């Protein structure tokens, strides 16, 4: 909402400067978003008079002028415009002026003749579209006066953010009431007189009827005849321009002026164009059409509320009038309408037909139904004054549902407790009275408060608390910490474990990513998911139409996007929920942990030749994560998951339950995701399932003082033997075995086809003494026997 300071001062005395007023408006709830100081681009632009006129010696189309600008010496100016003559009053941009568009006026030479300024057109001053000639002013203009002062362009316009519950503030009078209430001043309402002629308005002129009483509660009008439609006076054009509108003619400009003065839309009909001498407020019949004032033909098919005559629709009620009844230069008699249409109807219609206007913006928020007669009289008086028209005696006013006042009890002690301030009783009464609210004393602690009709947002005591506080001033209420006995709550176990998982993954060197909980239907096809999914009935977009049942698709998308941007060291993790259909149509939610690797580590001083990430890189992250999360009793078995490369993936099992899967992404899935540059590796674990297996305590053991013994074995195995399972079996053969690690796998020329050489390191230690040679040999023999018997393995020769 735009508010002109010059206009606002007509309704309330304002002594404060711009900064103070900005702060006041913001503190009382009408937040200032921007301030436009008009005329700031018109410094050094003054009124001048041509006192010498001649042709340029080197150019037939240029004139050489001497212009008096109120200084000791006239300015010599070269001009190319065709529309000036000796004695004209003109607008002069002197040297040093900076016009709109950062156009700087400097001393210049034009065809060898010096020029000390410029005569200006509307375009050059940013005031209009006429650039064919310079501005010629009336003879009454004062030479040397600043043009912005002369033209009334020295205004300040505030742009306010008005909340939807305060439609009364969408006008200058509305804001004047607020400012007056805050400073304790009087509102100066417009002073006007409605001079009616003897001829009375009646059904011989036009009849009005409301057929749709649910959507139109009031429809009033006056007839004004013998109007002269012409250009508006300068003061009215200035007001209209300050609101960002273009002046049209005196009648249209008055309706716009009243709109921003009282926050009440009006519409003027050309009486000659109303067929059948009747105006009916009704629902549109399907297929009816109207060309609205914006020049667009609109077909009405949803029972939109319209104002119509006997044969045609004249206006879409509360939104926009039609071309077929608009006021033109030939109009002699008008019907001036002021109405009240219900907000929900206007909001629905505006959305259905895709048309919004200043009128619909206000009707959607609710207007003051009781103010209709005053607005109608104010507008009629202005029209009669500026057009020479005659106002017929009487008003046509159909009022179907009368406004009922309400009384709200206000308990002063409760107000004080709410504010945390012992505000005086009289101060509360003064604030409410200044806001235009009626008050009666019910008892020593209670007031009965009656809001005015324009304050539909006030309906309960809490609303009145807000009114008192904002006018009293938030800055006048001291800060006090509440004294409460608060018992600290317990952190939810699931949330705690999610936080723990994130911390662990970050510490092991992965970077967190956060993705939307929605994926496209394509994701289900790419990953071959056959289980039921949660499909969203009203998705934000087709790419977000399914609640994701897995985190894999999102992380693969992260890998693709980063590789496409030449980021080649990718180590991601995400901890989030996945969804599947549950009971009674609700979603069943579980936490998942996902890790993703692709590319190779960036080069460093210690890593000059980085190697690409592989299955074992991811396995290391997975094992470290499980270790830190307190899960040690698990098995790795070959995975049959179709999203992963066969033979390069594993399931993580605890007992018979699979808590996760990890490995290289299947080439078909990678290709479908657009991952072409590098192999991708994904791990996904069910964190919700893991929670029941996590160890909650950390066990500490004394450091063993006896030395360890290391034995390295190279074992030849069939290629399909799972080394992880073999290592788990080895660990169980003796209490002396402290650690078993795989450090090499070889397949090549010296190894039989279908075989692989696996090198493992075994650390042996005795906790209560030094290992004897025979104990070491016995343990190694047991290990080799196990490998031979259970895995058909032999020592590599």
* Amino acid 742: pLDDT: 87
* Amino acid 142: pLDDT: 93
- Domain 196-399 CATH assignment equals 3.50.40.10: yes
* Architecture of domain 2-38+155-183 in this structure: 2-Layer Sandwich (3.30)
Write out the two tokens for 450.
């009656």
Orientation angle between helical segments 250-262 and 372-387, nearest 10 degrees: 150
* Architecture of domain 709-795 in this structure: 2-Layer Sandwich (3.30)
Residue partners of 404: CB distance under 8 A and separation at least 6 = none
Short-list 286, 317, 316, CA closest to 303: 286
- Domain 45-150 CATH assignment equals 3.30.70.920: no
Q: Is 466 annotated as a binding residue?
A: yes
Write out the two tokens for 302.
């949803």
* Amino acid 696: pLDDT: 63
Same fold, 2-38+155-183 and 709-795: no
CA dihedral 382, 387, 390, 391 (to 10 degrees): -30
Element (H, E) at 617: helix 615-628
Full DSSP string of 409-437: EEEHHHHHHHHTS---HHHHHHHHHHTT-
Domain boundary assignment for the chain = 2-38+155-183, 45-150, 196-399, 408-476, 493-693, 709-795
Do the Cβ atoms of 432 and 235 come closer than 8 Å?
no
CATH no. of 408-476:
3.30.56.10
Orientation angle between helical segments 412-419 and 425-434, nearest 10 degrees: 90
Looking up tokens 């030449």 gives 566
Using CA atoms, how far apart are residues 68 and 94, in angstroms rounded to an integer?
11
Q: Is 457 annotated as a binding residue?
A: yes
Using CA atoms, how far apart are residues 725 and 787, in angstroms rounded to an integer?
11
Using CA atoms, how far apart are residues 670 and 690, in angstroms rounded to an integer?
28
Using CA atoms, how far apart are residues 340 and 346, in angstroms rounded to an integer?
11
Angle at 207 between CA 352 and CA 194, to 5 degrees: 100
DSSP E strand boundaries for 582-708: 587-599, 635-638, 644-654, 657-665, 680-686
What is the mean pLDDT, run by run of 10 residues, along the chain of 797 residues?
94 93 93 86 91 91 94 93 92 92 90 93 81 88 90 86 93 96 95 94 91 95 96 90 89 96 96 94 94 93 94 95 94 96 95 93 95 96 96 95 94 93 93 95 92 94 95 87 77 88 95 95 93 90 93 96 93 96 87 96 74 92 93 88 93 93 96 93 96 76 87 91 86 91 86 90 92 93 93 88
Strand, coil or helix: what is 692?
helix
CATH superfamily of domain region 493-693: Bira Bifunctional Protein; Domain 2 (3.30.930.10)
Using CA atoms, how far apart are residues 170 and 161, in angstroms rounded to an integer?
10
Neighbours of 519 (CB within 10 A): 25
* Amino acid 697: pLDDT: 63
* Amino acid 379: pLDDT: 97
Looking from the CA of 218 toward its CB, the CA atoms found within 13 Å total 23
């Amino acid at each position: 909402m735009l508010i002109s300071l010059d206009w606002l001062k007509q309704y309330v005395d304002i002594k404060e400067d711009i900064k103070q007023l900005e702060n006041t408006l913001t503190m009382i709830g009408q937040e200032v978003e921007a301030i436009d100081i008009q005329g700031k681009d018109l410094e050094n632009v003054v009124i001048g008079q041509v006192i010498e006129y001649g042709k340029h010696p080197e150019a037939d189309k240029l004139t050489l002028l001497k212009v008096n600008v109120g200084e000791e010496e006239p300015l010599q100016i070269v001009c190319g415009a065709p529309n000036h003559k000796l004695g004209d009053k003109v607008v002069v941009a002197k040297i040093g002026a900076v016009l709109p568009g950062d156009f700087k006026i400097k001393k210049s030479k034009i065809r060898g003749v010096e020029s000390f300024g410029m005569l200006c057109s509307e375009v050059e001053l940013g005031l209009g579209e006429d650039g064919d000639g310079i501005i010629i002013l009336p003879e009454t203009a004062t030479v040397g006066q600043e043009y912005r002062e002369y033209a009334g362009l020295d205004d300040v316009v505030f742009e306010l953010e008005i909340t939807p519950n305060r439609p009364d503030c969408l006008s200058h009078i509305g804001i004047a009431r607020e400012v007056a209430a805050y400073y304790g001043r009087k509102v100066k309402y417009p002073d006007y007189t409605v001079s009616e002629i003897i001829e009375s308005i009646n059904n011989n002129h036009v009849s009005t009827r409301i057929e749709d009483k649910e959507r139109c509660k009031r429809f009033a009008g006056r007839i004004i005849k013998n109007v002269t439609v012409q250009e508006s006076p300068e003061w009215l054009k200035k007001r209209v321009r300050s609101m960002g509108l273009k002046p049209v003619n005196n009648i249209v400009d008055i309706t716009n002026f009243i709109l921003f003065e009282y926050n009440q839309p009006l519409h003027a009909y050309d009486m000659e164009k109303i067929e059948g001498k009747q105006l009916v407020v009704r629902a549109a019949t399907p297929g009816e059409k109207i060309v609205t004032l914006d020049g667009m033909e609109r077909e009405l098919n949803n029972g939109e509320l319209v104002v119509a005559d006997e044969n045609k629709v004249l206006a879409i009620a509360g939104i926009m009038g039609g071309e077929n009844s608009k006021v033109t230069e030939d109009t002699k008699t008008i019907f001036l309408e002021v109405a009240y249409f219900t907000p929900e109807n206007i909001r629905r219609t505006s959305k259905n037909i895709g048309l919004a206007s200043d009128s619909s913006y206000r009707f959607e928020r609710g207007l003051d139904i009781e103010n209709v007669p005053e607005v109608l009289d104010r507008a009629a008086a202005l029209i009669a004054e500026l057009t020479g028209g005659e106002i017929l005696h009487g008003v046509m006013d159909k009022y179907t549902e009368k406004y009922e006042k309400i009384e709200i009890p206000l308990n002063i002690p409760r107000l004080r407790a709410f504010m945390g301030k012992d505000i005086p009783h009289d101060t509360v009464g003064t604030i409410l009275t200044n806001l235009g609210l009626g008050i009666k004393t019910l008892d020593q602690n209670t007031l009965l408060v009656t809001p005015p009709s324009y304050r539909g947002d006030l309906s309960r005591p809490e609303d009145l608390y807000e009114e008192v506080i904002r006018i009293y001033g938030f800055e006048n209420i001291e800060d006090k910490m509440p004294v409460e006995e608060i018992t600290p709550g317990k952190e939810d176990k699931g949330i705690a474990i999610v936080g723990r998982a994130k911390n662990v993954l970050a510490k092991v060197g992965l970077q967190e990513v956060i993705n939307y909980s929605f994926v496209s239907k394509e994701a289900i096809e790419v990953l071959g998911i056959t289980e039921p999914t949660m499909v969203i009935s009203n998705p934000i977009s087709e790419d977000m139409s399914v609640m994701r049942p897995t985190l894999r698709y999102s992380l693969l998308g992260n890998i693709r996007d980063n590789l496409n941007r030449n980021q080649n060291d990718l180590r991601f993790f995400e901890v989030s929920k996945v969804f599947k259909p549950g009971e009674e149509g609700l979603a069943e939610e579980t936490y998942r942990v996902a890790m993703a690797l692709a590319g190779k580590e960036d080069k460093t001083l210690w890593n000059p030749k980085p190697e690409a990430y592989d299955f074992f890189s991811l396995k290391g992250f997975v094992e470290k994560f499980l270790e830190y999360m307190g899960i040690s009793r698990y098995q790795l078995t070959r995975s049959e998951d179709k999203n992963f490369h066969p033979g390069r993936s594993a399931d993580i099992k605890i007992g018979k339950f699979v808590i996760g899967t990890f490995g290289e992404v299947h080439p078909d899935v990678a290709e479908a995701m657009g991952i072409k540059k590098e192999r991708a590796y994904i791990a996904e674990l069910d964190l919700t399932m893991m929670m029941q297996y996590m160890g909650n305590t950390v066990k500490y053991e004394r450091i063993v003082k006896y030395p360890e013994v290391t034995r390295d074995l190279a074992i030849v195995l069939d290629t399909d033997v799972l080394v992880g399972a073999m290592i788990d079996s080895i660990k169980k053969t003796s209490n002396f075995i402290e650690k078993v690690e795989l450090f090499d796998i070889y397949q090549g020329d010296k190894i039989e086809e279908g075989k692989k050489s696996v090198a493992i390191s075994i650390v042996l230690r005795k906790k209560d003494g030094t290992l004897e040679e025979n104990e070491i040999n016995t343990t190694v023999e047991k290990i080799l026997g196990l490998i031979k018997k259970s895995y058909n393995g032999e020592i590599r020769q």
